[in-house]
Amino acid sequence: MKRLLTWLLICLPAIVMAQETRQIKGRVLSTTDGDVLIGASVFIDKSTIGAETGVKGVIENITMGTITDLDGNFILEVPKALKTISCSFLGFETQVVDIAGKDFVTIKLNDSNSQLGEIVVTGYQKIEKRKLTSAVAKVNADNIRQAGIASVDQMLSGQLAGITAVSETGAPGAPTKIRIRGTASLNGTQDPLWVLDGIPLEGNEVPDYNDKDNIDQLYNSSIAGLNPQDIKDITILKDAAATAIYGARAANGVIVITSKKGKAGKMKVQFSSNTSFISKPDFDRLNLMNSDEKVDAELAIASRTDLTYDSYRGGVAEILNANNDWANYQSNGIDGISPESLAAINALRTIDPNLEDELYQNAVNQDQSLSFSGGNDLATYYFSLGSHTEKGTTKGTSLSRYNVTLKTNIKLTDNLTFGVSMFANQRKNKSFLTEGSMLTNPSQYIRSSNPYLRLRDENGDFVHHNLEQGSWNIVRLNYNILEEREGTSHILKGQSLNSIFDLNWKLNSNFTFRSQFGYSVDKANTTKEAVEESYYVRRTRNKSGYDGVTDFKYNKYFIPQGGMLKNWDSDNTYYNLKNILEYSKLFNDLHEVDVMVGNELRESKYTQVFSAAYGWNGRNNTSKPVIFRDESDAKSFPLFTKTYRKNRYASFFATGSYTFNRKYTFFGSVRFDGSDLFGVDDKYRYLPLYALSGSWNASEESFLSDIDWLSSLKFRSSYGLQGNIDKQSSPYIVGTPSVVSNLPGQSEDAIIVEGLPNEKLRWEKTSTYNVGFDLAVLRHAVRMSFDYYTRKGTDLIGIQAVPTESGYNSMPVNWAKMTNKGWELSISTRNIQTENFEWNTSFNISHNENEVLKEQARVNQLTPSREGYSANSIWVIKTEGLDANGYPQFKKDGNIVSGDEYFGLYDEWADFYPNNKAGSNLSNDELNELFVNVGSSDPEYSGGIINTFRYKNIDLTVSANFNLGMNVIERPPYSITEYDKARNTSTDLLNVLNGSNTILPNLMGAASGEGQYWMQTQLYNTLRPDFYNHLDIWHKEVDYLRISSIRLGYSLSQDVLNKVGLSNVRFSFEARNPFVISNGYDGYFDPESYGNIYAQPQQKSYTLGVNLTF
């Protein structure tokens, strides 16, 4: 009866005496995602209209209203003179709408900025934001989604405070390196835990892309298969109060993905299509010498008698030596050489092999998504199809991904629901084939290939030049990069299925039981194939050569002639079972109690099978047998290997929350994690993790509630213990099965021990303290959130020296320590808001300081211990300018000294063979002490700024992210002692040789100057080449602001939509990575890959898109 009376009050037309009425129609949508809002209230405020009563002269204020239907539409009878109506919906801001002169209005409600009704999903539970006590950041995926993005990790750069997201290479499908509040482990994984709809995802560790052996490999990850169009929102859990519930996986932070799901109502069909145009990189940024400049550089080197390293190398040297003009040129310069030599040298100046077009390309990429959603009171559904095809700017690189997503939720009874989610995808990634050779990496090749070397002759055939040779020992191998690209392939194919089953049983008004089971299967196949004529095959086969060399070729090989095929098949399966019981109760309208207890079981299994075929014929799929000479050969060229790894975990957890009078909230959690990764000693089998936190909604206090400009004010504080797993270490003896000879003609099985056991090896622990506040003023027009945190890692696994009689120098031990301290600030402002125009700004910035408190340097380590410095420290050798000959000099005891004195160099063979063998009277530790720490490779400050504008049906979003204070060591563009003239480099070297650059060091030989640099030549060449690579000359502190996206959109008006029968049509144009503002990254494509000569360029794209809603 009460419900009936309520509906009558809302919906019954009021009798308005002596007033004419008219009909107003409209539709109510969510500003965030454009979805219709079913059941939204549309009404006339009671203060705007009155009705006559039975008492003369008395007018009664009444309310007239209606609610929206399943399509979000409404019809309302209003007084003809009425100018405004109001609209409200739970979780959204109430809006007053101007209807003067209008018959139809589209009302778009903004998400409520108040904490009432807003929910934060942590993966284990849903928490009302007003009760939240931890450091959590949430963003709607529609607000950060960029056109042409292949993976969700690429969406996060600059979006949220405390998160650093760096793309270290622009290769299609390459993962983004993400750090949340710094580095939590010295040797274990530093990547955050990804969670999809409550189920943790495995296999998302990002490799070190500064390693040339890693950067060209193709990697499979579970998040790479998700379709960004299926994501509803992303929540970042940062402090211990938020992440401790995840146990020993959460020390690096947690990223919780909530996917879209169906809503009760009419079926909604959405289609989006994006076409992206990718431009080739700007090669002028590399500052490479062209053919004319390279010839000048070679002539300058040839004129110097002190530079004798590989004097026969280079096009100029070949010409001079062929015409017996070398001595003539050194004596009389260019005027002293023959006309033939001069003509040939000048001919080199005019050659342009057009490497940019041969190796790189413009590309057109496609991205489509189609979804169906809807349902009724008993069941809802969401079904989507996705397709993403991407070509890289490097020819031969590509990515394709196809997705199918199905979600349904069924109401079995009034208090029991069951849900099923399926995320299936298929991926194919192509790249170039590299393995141990820099020649085959295009980014490196274009830097080093001589600009006057032709890749094709007049007939279009490949050219093999003797200046472009690779080698294996003393065997010369012809090489042409275009031929190599045609004759090799590197392909990764992956298929994965993530399935999630949810059961929610409302036992009564206070108790709820939830059970969730997740099962994922991820299969991947990597194939590397090369034809017989390829450099890859010839180089590999020459490793099997023996019985002497004739004409630069081995006489015998045990690897047969033919091509090669290598294949890796991997299978990763994972299950996770959670059972949770929740209790929630409100006492006396003052005391709110929420308790959760549960347990979790999970298991991961990984299998990889490797096989190799030699003498491979791809046409008929046949290979030849390999006749190994001995077991050593078989180990060098394995034909089959199998890797198997299984880990199990058991966890028990509980949380409790108490809120008094909606102002004060106290929260606690505890979790016990057990794993077979550790636990040789029972005492370390289970790791207890816990967190305590509290919050105060100060704006609810009576002494603040009357302040008009204060919308909300909340203080938060937390402390807790997090855990981390270092899967690279083991408590057991680690060894490799082998066969050894014990007596002549006899052998037996053995294990080659690779690591000592440590039964006390255990989980790494990180304690975190966080304090922060959330502030909103001027009716939420300005919102601010600030957090300060300290994180201290203890029991970190580090290397510790052991007695040499053990047979080893060191072993992994839980003894290292590290801290992270920092702050985060987020500010959102509603700058202007009128009926036709709106401008909003979001800004975030964060700062983190990392320090290793306790660590021991490895034996023979070539840099100092990181103790007292950042885990990602950058070390340099400080110089004090250049001497008169252009060579580095240094400062010692306040005096400027030469390299000989600074490094303690002396002539080891002075007594019997002087000027031939240099040594240092400083020990290795003393030499390491010459290094100076200049900071960390992690940015000192990072953040982003987003401006969103809307004028009527036009919207514009400009997104930028910045990183400030990134310390980087540039790879030296040339060797000071062994510059190979058959290789190109930057124009810096030419400027050094002609004297216009007096900052970079001159080329050095044993006879340079008056012969006094011969010991430094050996120092930089053989004794400690790392010293030259770490001169502070190559150090740079990189700052940059990247305009990551400029997105312009236009939505059709409601009148047009009504005519075409659609709910929404939006056209868009987006420029991704259009430009970067930086203090300089000359010599590299991008500031994020500064110092990495192997990284593929970041893509710049221009995208046309359309989004349709039926």
DSSP 1020: I
Mean pLDDT of 17-25: 73
Q: Flag whether pLDDT at 82 surpasses 90.
A: no
Q: Supply the range of the domain harboring residue 45.
A: 2-109
Pick the last residue of a domain from 237, 264, 291.
264
In a domain, 422, yes or no: no
CATH number of the domain to which 204 belongs: 2.170.130.10
Residue 16 has pLDDT above 60, yes or no: no
CB-based contact 557:525 (threshold 8 Å): no
Average model confidence (pLDDT) for the chain? Answer: 86
Dihedral (Cα; 966, 971, 976, 977), 10-degree rounding: 140
CATH number (domain holding residue 104) = 2.60.40.1120
Task: Specify whether 148 is located in the same domain as 49.
Answer: no
688/610 Cα distance (integer angstroms): 39
Q: HEC string of 123-162?
A: CCCEEEHHHCCCCEEEEEHHHHCCCCCCCHHHHCCCCCCC
Mean pLDDT of 852-857: 87
The DSSP call for residue 1022 is I
Are residues 86 and 156 both part of a single domain? Answer: no
How far is CA 862 from each of CA 83, 859, 900, 1027, 1088, rounded to the nearest angstrom? 78, 9, 19, 10, 26
Of 229, 264, 299, which residue is a domain's last? 264
100 with 134, same domain: the answer is no
Contact 231, 152 (CB under 8 A): yes
28 vs 734, which has greater pLDDT?
A: 28
Q: What pLDDT does residue 818 have?
A: 93
Same domain, 131 and 99: no
What is the pLDDT confidence band of residue 678, given thresholds at 50, 70 and 90?
Answer: low
pLDDT digits (tens, 9 = 90+) for 567-623: 999 999 999 999 999 999 999 989 999 999 999 999 999 999 999 999 999 899 999
Same domain, yes or no, for 127 and 242? Answer: yes
What local confidence, expressed as pLDDT, does residue 3 receive? 45
> Are residues 92 and 138 located together in one domain of the fold?
no
Give the mean pLDDT of 477-481.
84
150 lies in some domain: yes
Q: How do strand 837-854 and strand 941-951 relate by DSSP bridges?
A: antiparallel
pLDDT in tens, 411-429: 999 999 999 999 999 999 9
Q: Are 969 and 1042 in contact (CB under 8 A)?
A: no
Compute the 3-state secondary structure of the chain and give helix, strand, coil in percent, each to the nearest 5.
15, 50, 35
Q: Are residues 103 and 124 in the same domain?
A: no
Q: Do residues 134 and 257 both lie within one domain?
A: yes
Q: Are 150 and 399 in contact (CB under 8 A)?
A: yes
Over 70: is that where the pLDDT of 263 sits?
yes
pLDDT attached to residue 741:
62
Condensed to tens digits (0 to 9), the pLDDT of residues 902-935 reads 999 999 999 999 999 999 999 988 999 999 999 9
pLDDT at residue number 1058: 83
- If asked whether residues 221 and 94 sit together in one domain, one would say no
User: Looking at the structure, do residues 149 and 78 belong to the same domain, yes or no?
Assistant: no
Q: What is the pLDDT, as a whole number, of residue 1028?
A: 95
Report pLDDT for 50: 46
Query: What is the tens place of the pLDDT at every residue in 935-994?
Result: 999 999 999 999 999 999 999 999 999 999 999 999 999 999 999 898 899 999 999 999
CA distance 360 to 171: 12
Amino acid 675 reads S
User: Which range has highest mean pLDDT (176-185, 439-448, 467-476, 886-895)?
Assistant: 886-895
Other CB atoms closer than 10 Å to residue 580's CB: what's the count? 21
Whether 438 is covered by a domain: the verdict is no
SS3 600: strand
Nearest of 577, 541, 573 to residue 557 by alpha carbon: 541
Is residue 689 situated within a structural domain?
no
**Which pLDDT does position 103 carry in this prediction?**
87
pLDDT band for 112, please (50, 70, 90 cuts): low
Query: In the block, which residue shows the tokens 């084939």?
Result: 433
Counting residues of the chain whose pLDDT is more than 90, the rounded percentage is 53
Predicted TM-score (pTM) of the model is: 0.85
Any idea which of 67-76, 880-889, 984-993 has the lowest mean pLDDT? 67-76
Would you state the pLDDT for residue 345? Answer: 95
Say if residue 153 is in the same domain as residue 101.
Answer: no
**What single DSSP character describes residue 113?**
-
- 196 vs 138, 599, 1051, CA distance in Å? 15, 18, 31
pLDDT score for 102: 87
Paired strand residues for 1108:
271, 1065
d(CA 261, CA 508) in angstroms, rounded, equals 26
Which among 82, 109, 136 is the end of a domain? 109
- pLDDT score recorded for residue 727: 63
For strands 254-259 and 193-196, give the pairing: parallel
On whether residue 72 sits in a domain, the answer given is: yes
pLDDT of 742 higher than 90: no
Q: Clarify whether residues 85 and 144 are in a common domain.
A: no
Structural domains in the chain (count): 2
Residue 285 lies in a domain: no
pLDDT in tens, 347-364: 999 998 888 899 999 999
Q: How far apart are CA 758 and CA 812, in angstroms?
A: 8
Q: Is residue 1061 in some structural domain? A: no
> 3-state class of 933 per DSSP?
strand
Q: Does any domain span residue 354?
A: no
Token pair listed for 640: 């089959």
